Amino acid sequence: MPSSIDTIDTPALIVDVDRLEGNIARWAAFAREAGVKLRPHGKTHKCVEIARRQVSAGAVGLTLAKIGEAEVMARAGVRDIFLAYEVIGGPKLPRLISLAREIRLRVGVDSADGAGALARAAQGAGITLDVLIEVDTGLGRCGVRPGEALAALAQDVARLAGLRIAGIFTYRGYRSDLEAAGREEGEVMVREADRLRRAGIEIEEVSVGSTPTGRSAGRVGGVTEIRPGTYVFNDAMQVRWGSATPEECALVVLARVISRPSRDVAVLDAGSKALTAEHGPYSSRGESHGVIRGYPDCQIDRLWEEHGRVQLTTEARRLRVGDLVEIIPSHVCPTVNLAERLVCVRQGRVVETWAVAARAQVQ
Ligand SMILES: Cc1ncc(COP(=O)(O)O)c(C=O)c1O
C-alpha cells in the first residue's frame, strides 16, 4: 500500500480519518445532548467500516434507501435499519421480508397502494412489518401533506393487518435560514404526531433532519430521531450552505494535472466519472464542479468523462503537469457511489483502504 499521498494513483477518493471521526463524534455528542436518536443515512458513505464507527459512537442503526444497501449493511452486522424510502414493486418484496426476519427493519410508506402491497406480503409471510409514514414538509418529493391527507393515510394504514405504524418521518433538505427551517420541520412533525395520537394512532417515532437541518430540528421537543447523512464527509454544498466548515470536509477527490494547454487553464484526470456532473456556485468566478484545496477561487468549469478543466487564478498558474490537487466535491454522496474504494489517510499517511461495499445498489 502506498504510504504517502503522492504515491497514490489518481483519480482517487481520499478520506481523512481524523476528520471523519471528528464529524462522527460531534454529531453523536449533539444527539446525546439533545436527547434524540441518531440514525445516520448510510447512502453518503456506503461503507461498512464507516457504518461500524457510527454505531460504535452511539448511532442506533442506519437509515438507507435501497434494499441492496440494507442487505450489505445487515451482512456486516448492522441490526437496525430504517429504509426511508417507498419500497414499491413485487420483485422487491421477498427480499424485504427476508431482511425483516433477520434484523429490526422499518420502511417508509406514503400511499395506501404501497402500504397495501407491503401488508399483503407481510401477512403472507406471517410477520408484522413496521412502517413510518412519510410527511412532505415542503420539499415536494415523496410524502403526504400534513393535516387531512396524513390523517387519512394513517387511518388507512392502521386498518391493514400485517403492518404496524411505528411513526412518521420527513426529509425537508436545504432551505435558506437553516435554524428556522429545521425548527419549523421539527415543529410541524411534532404537531402532526400529536394530532395522530389524538385520533387514536400510536406514534412512537418522529424522525426528521439532515445535515443542514438536523441540529435545529433535533432540538425541538417531541422529535425522537435525526437522520443526517452527508455530515460524515461534508462537501462544497454543505460549506456553501453554512452547515459545515472547510475543515470539516473529510473526503477529497485526489486528481493530477495532465495538461496545461494555456497560461490560465489546467486539465485534470478527474471528469464526470470521478466527480459526478454536479456543480454549484462554489467559485467567485461562477459555477464549479468542486473546490480545489488551497486554490478556492479556481473554477472547475467543465467536465468530460475523463477530463476536468480548471480556470486558474493567478497564484494557481504555478500548477504543472503531474501536480496533485485535492478537490472537495460538489456533492459527496453520488461522488462516493462512483468509486470502488476509499483510501484512508491520517496526517497525510495512507493507513488503510475501505471498500465502498454498497455502491451501485440501486434496487
Ligand atoms: C430521506 C432522507 N433522510 C436523510 C437524508 C440525509 O440528508 P443529508 O445527506 O443532507 O444529511 C436524506 C438525503 O438525501 C434523505 O433522502
Summarize pLDDT for 279-332 with one digit per residue, the tens: 999 998 999 999 999 999 999 999 999 999 999 999 999 999 999 999 999 999
Q: What are phi and psi of 207, to 5 degrees?
A: -110, 125
pLDDT greater than 80 at residue 1? no
- Which residue range forms the structural domain that includes residue 259? 5-11+244-355
How far does residue 215's CA lie from ligand 1's centre (Å)?
A: 13
Same domain (yes/no): 323, 189? no
Count of structural domains within the chain: 2
- What angle is formed at CA 144 by the lines to CA 143 and CA 149, rounded to 5 degrees? 170
User: Is 186 touching ligand 1 by the criterion CB < 6 Å?
Assistant: no
CATH of the domain at 124: 3.20.20.10
User: Which DSSP string do the residues of 283-323 spell out, in sequence order?
Assistant: ETTEEESSEETTBTT-EEEEE-SS-EEEEPPTGGGG--TT-
CB of 203 closer than 8 Å to CB of 195:
no
Same domain (yes/no): 219, 280? no
Same domain (yes/no): 164, 98? yes
The Cα 303–Cα 297 span in angstroms is 17
How far does residue 230's CA lie from ligand 1's centre (Å)?
A: 7
Q: What is the 3-state secondary structure (H, E, C) of 219-267?
A: CCCCCCEECCCHHHCCCHHHHHHCCCCHHHCCEEEEEEEEEEEECCEEE
User: Is 84 touching ligand 1 by the criterion CB < 6 Å?
Assistant: yes
Domain endpoint, select from 192, 210, 232 = 232
Task: Flag whether 343 is in a domain.
Answer: yes
Task: Flag whether 361 is in a domain.
Answer: no
User: Is 82 touching ligand 1 by the criterion CB < 6 Å?
Assistant: no
CATH of the domain at 330: 2.40.37.20
Cell 413510518, residue? 132
How far does residue 171's CA lie from ligand 1's centre (Å)?
A: 6
User: Is 210 touching ligand 1 by the criterion CB < 6 Å?
Assistant: yes
Same domain (yes/no): 149, 248? no
User: Is 171 touching ligand 1 by the criterion CB < 6 Å?
Assistant: yes
Same domain (yes/no): 204, 284? no
Same domain (yes/no): 158, 302? no
3: number of Cβ within 10 Å: 11
What pLDDT score was predicted for residue 224? 98
Summarize pLDDT for 116-171 with one digit per residue, the tens: 999 999 999 999 999 999 999 999 999 999 999 999 999 999 999 999 999 999 99
Same domain (yes/no): 200, 319? no
pLDDT average, residue stretch 251-270: 98
User: Is 227 touching ligand 1 by the criterion CB < 6 Å?
Assistant: yes
Domain endpoint, select from 206, 232, 258 = 232
User: Is 170 touching ligand 1 by the criterion CB < 6 Å?
Assistant: no
pLDDT average, residue stretch 60-74: 98
Domain endpoint, select from 208, 232, 256 = 232
How far does residue 228's CA lie from ligand 1's centre (Å)?
A: 6
Residue of 30, 38, 39, 41 to test ligand 1 pocket, by largest number of atoms within 8 Å of CB: 41
Task: Flag whether 239 is in a domain.
Answer: no
Determine the atom of ligand 1 nearest the C-alpha atom of 174.
10
Cell of 68: 441492496
Task: Flag whether 31 is in a domain.
Answer: yes
Q: Over the chain, what is the mean pLDDT?
A: 97
The Cα 79–Cα 229 span in angstroms is 18
Same domain (yes/no): 227, 325? no
User: Is 66 touching ligand 1 by the criterion CB < 6 Å?
Assistant: no
Same domain (yes/no): 182, 36? yes
Please state, in angstroms and as integers, the Cα–Cα distance from residue 45 to each residue in 20, 53, 230, 356, following that order: 11, 12, 8, 7
User: Is 228 touching ligand 1 by the criterion CB < 6 Å?
Assistant: yes
User: Is 230 touching ligand 1 by the criterion CB < 6 Å?
Assistant: yes
Determine the atom of ligand 1 nearest the C-alpha atom of 228.
11
How far does residue 300's CA lie from ligand 1's centre (Å)?
A: 26
pLDDT average, residue stretch 226-253: 97
How far does residue 317's CA lie from ligand 1's centre (Å)?
A: 38
Determine the atom of ligand 1 nearest the C-alpha atom of 209.
4
Same domain (yes/no): 217, 325? no
CB of 118 closer than 8 Å to CB of 85:
no
How far does residue 33's CA lie from ligand 1's centre (Å)?
A: 21
How far does residue 339's CA lie from ligand 1's centre (Å)?
A: 20
Task: Flag whether 48 is in a domain.
Answer: yes
Q: pLDDT band at 3, cuts 50/70/90?
A: confident
Task: Flag whether 319 is in a domain.
Answer: yes
Same domain (yes/no): 198, 99? yes
Task: Flag whether 168 is in a domain.
Answer: yes
Summarize pLDDT for 166-221 with one digit per residue, the tens: 999 999 988 889 999 999 999 999 999 999 999 999 999 999 989 999 999 999 99
What pLDDT score was predicted for residue 7? 92
Task: Flag whether 116 is in a domain.
Answer: yes
Same domain (yes/no): 249, 218? no
